[in-house]
Structure 1
Amino acid sequence: MDAQMYCREKYADLATVHDMEDVKTLNKIFKDANRYPVWIGLYDDRNNWKWSISDSSFYKDGETEFRSWLSTQPNEYGYFDYCVTTDSNGKWNDKDCKTSYNVICSDVEGQNVTFVYININMNWTAAQSYCREHHTDLASVRNDLENTRIRDMIPGGQFAWIGLFRSPWMWVDGLKPSLRYWADSEPDVATEICAVAYFGPGSSGKWADWNCARKTTFVCFSGMKHVVKLKLRSSSSLDLNDPTIQEDILKQLKQKLVNQEENKSFKLSWKKQSDGSIFYTEKKEDL
């Protein structure tokens, strides 16, 4: 998108809106504007598929990227399909997460996994909760062998939820929105995967989804970004892929920086790796 290229060349990136303070700041900037759309740094990342089991040690190289899509899938055109089922042929479909299907749960011990077919119709979120309460989690499918094992459990012509899903909207800094500030009935078109904010009378900076190819004004973020590699030593019982633990670490780091720096107007966020994970286990080199 031209707007993002410009922002990255001249500033840092398209603007991100993480809280109501950011909303207030942008409304002050555009207080005299007529009602018109402005590109912001929110977009629908269609490649952001990830597994409900987030522990990176469960996967060997390339296993988080294993897929067995039906030839026409994923096909979100006109729909909002962010969760995945598999069928009795071992082929995957993206589906509306609110739809009810049977479920494939998993019991995990180290690298070993046992799959369990749950003959109860429920939506994806309920399926995830059920599997985490009664088993380990929704099933991750790491390779062809596991896909075949699951395929053979599903009755002919039926579908079942697996643990693959994606978060539909992300900021350009890699964070999932903690603030939802959509205008009424937005987002409303699954093929419109970039976001604008409306300013001016009666708009207040509310968001809407737009076709990325359209041209309009935009707002950039001019702050400096610094990437710092952090090495942590933790006990084996601490799951660094837990979002709550990640947030706690950020809060502690920010407090230390606030105590050291006069300028307190900064934000911290984790940088995701190509597989969607934040932390990885450092391998010890042979002596």
Structure 2
Amino acid sequence: MWFLIQLLSGFLSLTAAYVSHQFYFVNEAKSWTEAQSYCRSHYTDLATLFNTDDVNALTQLGSPTGSAWIGLYDDLIDSWRWSITNSSFYGPGETEFRNWNTDVPEPNNHGGQELCAEMLPDGKWNDIPYIPAYEDKVFVCYVGANDSYVLIQKHISWNDAQSYCRANYTDLPSIRNAAENEKVRDAADGNKVHIGLYRTRTWSDSSDSSFRNWNSSQPDNLYGGEHCTAMSFSDAGQWTDEDCATTRPFFCYRDTVVTLRAVVDATEELTEAEIEETILKPLREELIRNGLPNSTSLRLRRVYQTNP
């Protein structure tokens, strides 16, 4: 769900295209990839869910039993993210730097729960289970000043290590290139250590929705091959990870557009960052308070000068 915004200095005239998701249930058995192609050809994409209201909407559309594909999937490679989320921290291609161990090879998501990364003593990386009893280990924090790092001799989980680094330094290390990888390896001093890489599943339409509705035992990636997500009709709409090649019905969505207009009096010329902070952010919050879903967002389309 998004807005297209047109802004003018002096008086800021906002023209917004409000886009909502209309869901559709397709009662045809297809693999996840076939369902994705069908949705993109006939609608917009496989369904992206933002909250429990979306879950309820889909359960009302579906059948009484069984399950159906939604748009969440694990592509094993592109689903890895760095702990530092500030986009200005990275240069071109730096979020894509990887140094996985190739002997096994990694990442292999063995057992279906290897959702975070460690650095081995040789500087190569390994994905490890998200199980505290297994993953407790020492870690390296990124200090920030002069791109330096410090070894923390505490045996704790990846989540706790991230919290510690953010509270006391900057963050777990987000490694942008081979030179930084060597710096972290030197700081690790021969230990296996947590680094700031973790895995998250991706929506088919590249949405940034962080909403999840997993069954308590999921995702389990049984036999190492369950990388696509289905929603159960008989289990309060909870999700399971499934083999992408199995066939089942699926949910698509289509964008529905409604045009909105607003005029804002601005005494000074505003930068895009100022527009984002002083106009778009409060406007989005007000729209959500008036009933629009949390998935609502506002995007700046263009800015040009006009007389008040």
TM superposition score category, shorter chain reference:
0.7 to 0.9
Q: Is residue 43–residue 252 contact of structure 2 (8 Å, CA) maintained in 1? A: yes
Aligned counterpart in structure 2 of residue 40 of structure 1, from 70, 73, 77:
70
Partner of residue 62, structure 1: 93
How many Å separate the matches in 1 of 2:288 and 2:152? 48
User: Which AA in structure 2 matches 1:113?
Assistant: D
With over 3 angstroms needed to count, the CA separation of the structure-2 counterparts of 1:270 and 1:37, relative to structure 1, is: farther
How many Å separate the matches in 1 of 2:75 and 2:257? 22
Select the structure with the greater relative contact order (CA < 8 A; seq sep ≥ 6).
2
Partner of residue 22, structure 1: 54
Partner of residue 152, structure 2: 118
- Alignment of structure 1 residues 171-182 onto 2, 5 Å: 172-178=205-211, 180-182=212-214
How many Å separate the matches in 2 of 1:193 and 1:169? 10
Aligned counterpart in structure 2 of residue 84 of structure 1, from 96, 117, 124:
117
- Alignment of structure 1 residues 1-287 onto 2, 5 Å: 1-30=33-62, 33-46=63-76, 47-71=78-102, 72-97=105-130, 98=132, 99-109=135-145, 112-156=146-190, 158-168=191-201, 170=203, 172-178=205-211, 180-189=212-221, 190-199=224-233, 202-224=234-256, 232-234=272-274, 252-253=283-284, 255=286, 267-269=295-297
With over 3 angstroms needed to count, the CA separation of the structure-2 counterparts of 1:176 and 1:233, relative to structure 1, is: closer
Q: Is residue 113–residue 220 contact of structure 2 (8 Å, CA) maintained in 1? A: no
The more displaced of 33-42 and 207-216 is: 33-42
TM-score by length of 1: 0.74
- CA distances 1:90-121 after superposition (whole Å, capped 9, x unpaired): 11111123311111111114xx3111011111
More strand per residue: 2
Q: Is residue 76–residue 191 contact of structure 1 (8 Å, CA) maintained in 2? A: no
Cα distance, 1:222 vs structure 2: 2.4
Cα distance, 1:169 vs structure 2: 5.3
How many Å separate the matches in 2 of 1:206 and 1:23? 8
With over 3 angstroms needed to count, the CA separation of the structure-2 counterparts of 1:270 and 1:39, relative to structure 1, is: farther
More helix per residue: 2
Q: Among the aligned pairs, what percent are the same residue?
A: 35
The size of the alignment, in residue pairs, is 247
The more displaced of 20-29 and 92-101 is: 20-29
Give the aligned CA root-mean-square deviation in angstroms: 3.2
- CA distances 1:35-82 after superposition (whole Å, capped 9, x unpaired): 122111222242122221222222222222222111011111423111
- CA distances 1:121-146 after superposition (whole Å, capped 9, x unpaired): 11111101111111111112222222
With over 3 angstroms needed to count, the CA separation of the structure-2 counterparts of 1:10 and 1:177, relative to structure 1, is: same
How many Å separate the matches in 1 of 2:168 and 2:225? 37
Structure 1: gaps spanning 5 or more residues: 272-278, 280-287
Q: Is residue 86–residue 151 contact of structure 1 (8 Å, CA) maintained in 2? A: yes
Instruction: Name the SS for the 2:148 alignment partner.
Output: strand
